Amino acid sequence: MGIFSLCEFAALNSRIHYVKSRMLRGGDWQTLLSGSDLKAAVGDLGSLPMGEGLVTERGDGSLSLRMVEHSLQQNFITETLTHMRFLSGASAEALRELVRVYDLMNLKKVLRIKLGYEGKDRMSELFVDLYDLGRHSLLKMEKWRELTEGGKIGNAFVGTCYEEDFKLDIESAGESAGLLRLETIIERSYFKNLYACLKKSGGLELLRMQLDELCLEQMVRLRYHFEMEIPAIQPLTMLDLSASFNEKLFNKLMEAEDERSFFELLSAEPAFKGFDCSSLGACLRSMRLARMKECKAILNSGAPLSLRPLTALFMLKQQEIRDVVSALQIKRFQREGKKGWLVMPEVNKSVVREASL
């Protein structure tokens, strides 16, 4: 490794420690989870580092949690892309691909608008503000907006990881299960590309843990929620990229007649010992908790000369935003019993129990 690479990672790791120091701590979670006033909680969030410049209101002045979430995610994107100036080559490519998960989210919004969701034309109802990745996006913002306003996908994704996916006629995706199938196809394309990037730069083991979660969710949703035939499910899953799933285990689990039986079989697998396999939600939370603890361990272990720490930070921040939005939703709908489903408070020496007292 040359002197430039050594300096590159030294500068990057200094930046990583700075961002990590601004993440929510136990006391911050305590504040957000205490009390029942949603407006006060949003105000508290705005006083924290992650809430700087937070957009919380619609044009009419009313509080909007969707605006809050969009603002948190956009701030995270902007912050993450500042790391690009410390990177080059394969490392820069890997970070760019990590952030392009937001291109994937934009693409899903476009598809839901075009195809209608749950059999309805919801173009006017969907929250269509797009995530802006600047020059690192697959498409310019003008092109993304054109697609949301009815423009044809056509050759928009030629030269990207989605090129083969859109050689299909997207209108044939239809509704409900068809749309889910198409979304699963493009997810696979994105994560396959990200897998190749992280394999060169570091952080692959964290991605494989995440792919375990995605495989589990895909299998359960496609088989038991949308009643898709087993032969049609396997090509859509990411078994070849997963850490814990493979074709043999897939076939064994798919023998289950219902979701309950599926998780009974899963609970007996060595890789899932210690996880809560009582339901899909419980199992996903257990898996995310294990992944976040591994991410935190990587950040606490020093500054190895790879992209592992930045990959770990990226995943921690994504989960932090997910949990903050969930915490606000809990307040909005007064579902205090759901606090135990959050992940990051437990990673941060759980304050969920104390906040409930």
**Residue 349 pLDDT grade (very low, low, confident, very high; cuts 50, 70, 90):** low
Report yes or no on whether pTM surpasses 0.85: yes
Banded model confidence at residue 128, pLDDT cuts 50, 70, 90: low
Does the pLDDT of residue 252 top 90, yes or no? yes
DSSP annotation string for 277-314 = -SSHHHHHHHHHHHHHHHHHHHHHT---SSSHHHHHHH
**Does the structure show a pLDDT above 50 at 79?**
yes
3-state secondary structure 213-263: HHHHHHHHHHHHHCCCCHHHHHHHCCCCCCCCCCHHHHHHHCCCCCHHHHH
Q: Give residue 29's pLDDT.
A: 93
SS (H, E, C) 61-122: CCECHHHHHHHHHHHHHHHHHHHHHHCCHHHHHHHHHHHCHHHHHHHHHHHHHHHCECCECC
The pLDDT of residue 127: 52
The mean pLDDT of the chain is 87
Confidence at residue 306, expressed as pLDDT on a 0 to 100 scale = 83
Mean pLDDT on 109-134: 68
Give 91-109 pLDDT, tens digit per residue.
999 999 999 999 999 999 9
What percent of the chain has pLDDT above 70?
88
- Measured distance CA(43)–CA(85) in Å, rounded: 33
Residue 168 pLDDT grade (very low, low, confident, very high; cuts 50, 70, 90): low
- What integer pLDDT is reported at residue 71 of this predicted model? 95
Determine the straight-line distance between the first and last CA of the chain, rounded to whole angstroms.
Answer: 53
Distance between CA atoms of 329 and 305, rounded to whole angstroms? 39
Q: How confident is the model at residue 320 (pLDDT cuts 50, 70, 90)?
A: very high
pLDDT in tens, 208-233: 999 999 999 999 999 999 899 999 99
Contacts with 153 (C-beta within 8 Å, 6 or more apart), sequence order: 110, 114, 147, 166, 170
Contact 197, 206 (CB under 8 A): no
For residues 155-161, average pLDDT: 92
Query: Is the CB of residue 327 less than 8 Å from the CB of residue 32?
Result: yes
Instruction: Give the tens place of pLDDT for each residue, 2-27.
Output: 434 545 667 788 889 899 999 999 89
Confidence of residue 1 (pLDDT cuts 50, 70, 90): very low
Judged against a pLDDT cut of 80, whether residue 171 lies above it is answered with no
pLDDT band at 257 (very low <50, low <70, confident <90, very high): very high
Mean pLDDT to the nearest integer, 287-292: 98
